[in-house]
Amino acid sequence: MKQFLPFLILSVILTQSCKVFNPDEIVPSYIYINDIRVQAGANEGTTSDNLIDAWVYVDGNLIGTFELPSKIPIHVEGSYNLQIFAGIKKSGLTNVRIQHDFFNPFDTTMVSVANQLDSITPTVTYETGTTIWIEDFEDPGIKFSALSYSDTVIEITPVASQVFEGNGSGKIEFAPSHLIFESRTNETSFNSFPRGGRPVYMELDYNTNEVLTIGIYHNNSSAGLAKEEYINLFPTNGEWKKTYLVLTDVVSIQTAATEFEIYLEVQKDRSSQPLVLIDNLKVMF
């Protein structure tokens, strides 16, 4: 008992000391973010987006990644710097969430008042120096050419029910006898895709009743262009969807390639008459 008493006294002292040196937590304020919007300048294309996460920084420190819409606690007092980076699903993968590499963060100064809620709608802009290639099907020419074995072509549809926005969208339509579509770009600017892990993105809006395959051609040998499939986009049940494809890895691995092209492919499989609609295709690097 005599040995236990000093230990008990020490425990009481330490417990009381904790109360002295661990003050009560700051009562947080809150911000509510329903959406993040894109602000596009001249020659930067559509503002349509699928930005689903807010990566929130307070005074330069990441406090969390929040799926939108979200109410976010801010555990500081007084004035603070708020930065919000736009988050996406990497190539449509629900469990792989990343910051969009080509958007500047929303950056502002806020004042934290205990229990106060501030609703904000951040806007993000493209980083200066980003190369943006656009096919939005608003011009008479199309930047994709059908390959010789393709049964059908991509064309511009002005039909309102088939257009996502603007005056036209790209349409890939199969007649009953058609089996395969493939078309690819012929863009010299793609030959300067950066390597070494530097980002290369592609985004598009699409509405399809058949699997749409997207990939690249590259010539890393004397054999000419080699075809490499990247992703299959599945039927959307009559709805328009937007996806961000991160081509960084598939491009960076081709260290010897001097030419790149992007291709679109549809093979008749799930639908007796495939119909694929595409709009706002952007490539960024």
User: Are 137 and 197 in a shared domain?
Assistant: yes
What is the C-alpha to C-alpha distance for residues 9 and 109, in angstroms, rounded to an integer? 49
pLDDT in tens, 252-284: 999 999 999 999 999 999 888 999 999 999 999
Task: Inform me whether the pLDDT recorded for 14 exceeds 50.
Answer: no
* Residues 179, 265: Cα–Cα separation, whole Å: 11
Q: Report the DSSP beta bridge partners of residue 106.
A: 84
Q: Do 242 and 171 share a structural domain?
A: yes
**83 and 171 share one domain:** no
Lowest mean pLDDT among 9-13, 102-106, 108-112: 9-13
Residue 12: predicted pLDDT = 38
Contact 247, 218 (CB under 8 A): no
For residues 120 and 136, membership in a common domain is answered with no
Where is pLDDT greater, at 272 or 111? 111
pLDDT-derived band at 24, boundaries 50, 70, 90:
low
Contacts of 224 (CB under 8 A, 6+ apart): none
Q: Report the CATH number that the domain containing residue 59 is assigned in CATH.
A: 2.60.40
Confidence of residue 222 (pLDDT cuts 50, 70, 90): confident
Which of 25-29, 51-55, 135-139 comes out lowest in average pLDDT?
Answer: 25-29
86 contact partners, CB below 8 Å, separation of at least 6: 36, 38, 49, 51, 53, 54, 55, 99, 100, 103, 105, 122, 124
* 252 and 146 together in one domain: yes
- Its domain, for residue 199, covers 132-284
Instruction: Give pTM, 2 decimals.
Output: 0.88
Supply the pLDDT for residue 221.
73
The residue written with tokens 């802009």 in the block is: 125
Q: What is the pLDDT of residue 224?
A: 83
Q: What whole-number percentage of the chain has pLDDT above 70? A: 92
